[in-house]
Homo-oligomer: A and B are copies of this chain.
Amino acid sequence: MEKVRIGILGMGTVASGLVNIMSMNRDIIHSRTGKILEIDKVLVKNLHKNRDVDLDQSKFTTDANEIINNENVDIVVELMGGIEPAFEYVRDALLNKKHVVTANKALIATHGEELEGIAVENGVRLMYEASVGGGIPIINTMTNNLSANDFTEISGIVNGTTNYILTQMTERGIELDEAVKEAQEMGFAEADPSSDIEGDDAAYKIAILSYIGFGQRIGLNEVPKEGITHISREDIKYADELGYVIKLIASSQKRENEIELRVHPTFIPKTHPLATVKNEYNAVMLRGNAVGEVMLYGKGAGAMPTGSAVLGDIIAIAKGISSEAKEAIQPLTKRYQVVNKGYSQYYIRMDVVDKPGVLGYISNIFGKNNISLASVVQRYKHDLVAPLVFITHEVERKNINEALQEVRTYGNVLKIASIITVEKSL
């Protein structure tokens, strides 16, 4: 019975999940793979900390070399997070011909290309299913199960923190600040939630998924991003009234010669499969030229789901470890231009002076900019200020921007409160 020996860098939440699943499902994994997975060494900062895992004290070390230069270790699992020193450790492990599994999205989004090159040169595998979508097996589904497809679109809910916040705002009518505070108390948001609520986390993930799907590296600065910090209870209420829910969507679309990525709040029709994705759940919708639309749904974070994804990669490597299985993604030779056109339907909410003629005037400006309207909600409040809500038909974002520039100069418009992308029904 072959043993596969594992060294783990870091002993935080995901690592505990991994160790617990390995112990809980030992027999099943053995029966499915014919291998015995064994933890050889675990890198920690503090040898004396009490840890809630079933591991002998002798397995802990504070010296990374006992893992990345340890000839007993077959697979190095990097769960430290952050770029330094994770990058050096992973690079050195690959150079030492060790397979590497990581859950580190920042590392892969920024240094993935270099690290994959090193893995291929050294005949080992670098796998990172857990870097996107927690337990959802989105990367391996694209590289393996659906590999017969030319993908044209990847879009979905890839940040559980913002999805939890938006769900609570929607279901209980609370404001953003309150929902953020709650998410922090529940452990779904960090003390500094900015990477989540400003869209950076989702941008990392969609850049990784674009590479997997389209074979082209995308710099993070090429991903236009907009977080959820400006989403108000009022927008959520209008969305509900018009048959939508607001979700933070990360998307990447491939067209003839171009790729377009975005992270942005989006109106999702209530009948769309993404609309039922609530709280900490994630979901990714793929469009392939053979399979059509496929959606994967599951828990986007947490010790056990993320541990499940890490262990899935470990098992994949363990199954192939006696052969020379290499399975790096082969980048396609065609290069695409990365564009930012924002062709979509839009929701626009503004505050206007409550008097006749204002709607007509603004509608004319939209018309001049080739923007046609799908719906308008106007409520005369017999007050000084009235809200005016438009949903447009599909149009490029620059037409919206040009129209709104003119709208802003119109004295009866007090404020343009929101501009949010609207997704079509499936």
Q: Is the CB of A291 within 8 A of B135?
A: yes
State the CA gap A272–B291 with chains docked (Å): 24
The residue in chain B whose Cβ has the minimal distance to the Cβ of A323 is B323
Q: Is the CB of A144 within 8 A of B323?
A: no
Q: Is the CB of A150 within 8 A of B294?
A: no
Annotate A133-144 by CB proximity to B: 1 below 8 A, 0 otherwise. Answer: 001110011011
- Segment from A46-54, A183-191, A306-314 that makes contact with B: A306-314
> A34 an interface residue at 8 Å Cβ cutoff?
yes
> A290 an interface residue at 8 Å Cβ cutoff?
yes
State the CA gap A31–B31 with chains docked (Å): 34
> A359 an interface residue at 8 Å Cβ cutoff?
no
Considering only residues 37-74 of chain A, those with a C-beta below 8 Å from chain B are none
State the CA gap A32–B331 with chains docked (Å): 8
Using C-beta atoms within 8 Å of the partner chain, give the interface range for chain A: 35 or more
Main SS of chain A's interface residues? mixed
What residues of chain B lie closer than 8 Å to A330, measured between beta carbons? 31-34
Q: Is the CB of B308 within 8 A of A298?
A: no
Q: Is the CB of A144 within 8 A of B316?
A: yes
The residue in chain B whose Cβ has the minimal distance to the Cβ of A138 is B145
- Segment from A107-115, A273-281, A406-414 that makes contact with B: A273-281
For residue A357, give the distance in angstroms from its CB to the closest CB of chain B. Answer: 40
- Segment from A20-28, A87-95, A342-350, A375-383 that makes contact with B: A20-28
State the CA gap A52–B27 with chains docked (Å): 50
> A177 an interface residue at 8 Å Cβ cutoff?
no
> A147 an interface residue at 8 Å Cβ cutoff?
yes
Considering only residues 321-348 of chain A, those with a C-beta below 8 Å from chain B are 323-325, 327, 329-333
> A29 an interface residue at 8 Å Cβ cutoff?
yes
**Known A21-B290, A137-B146, A304-B290; contact A273-B297, beta-carbon cutoff 8 A:** yes
Q: Is the CB of A144 within 8 A of B136?
A: no
Partner of A312, one of B146, B276, B325: B146
Partner of A141, one of B141, B275, B276: B141
> A229 an interface residue at 8 Å Cβ cutoff?
no
Partner of A295, one of B31, B143, B293, B298: B298
What residues of chain B lie closer than 8 Å to A27, measured between beta carbons? 332
Partner of A271, one of B276, B290, B329: B276
What residues of chain B lie closer than 8 Å to A272, measured between beta carbons? 276
> A305 an interface residue at 8 Å Cβ cutoff?
yes
**Known A294-B135, A325-B323; contact A315-B147, beta-carbon cutoff 8 A:** yes
For residue A155, give the distance in angstroms from its CB to the closest CB of chain B. Answer: 14
The residue in chain B whose Cβ has the minimal distance to the Cβ of A298 is B294
Q: Is the CB of A135 within 8 A of B292?
A: yes
State the CA gap A276–B293 with chains docked (Å): 14
Listed by A's residue number, 25 A-B pairs whose Cβ atoms lie within 8 Å are A25-B150, A25-B290, A28-B150, A28-B332, A33-B147, A135-B290, A135-B292, A135-B294, A140-B145, A144-B144, A144-B145, A144-B312, A144-B315, A145-B145, A148-B308, A148-B312, A148-B315, A149-B308, A273-B276, A290-B305, A291-B305, A293-B298, A295-B297, A295-B298, A325-B325
Which 6 residue pairs are nearest across A and B when measured between Cβ atoms?
A: A137-B145, A323-B323, A148-B311, A290-B308, A135-B291, A294-B298
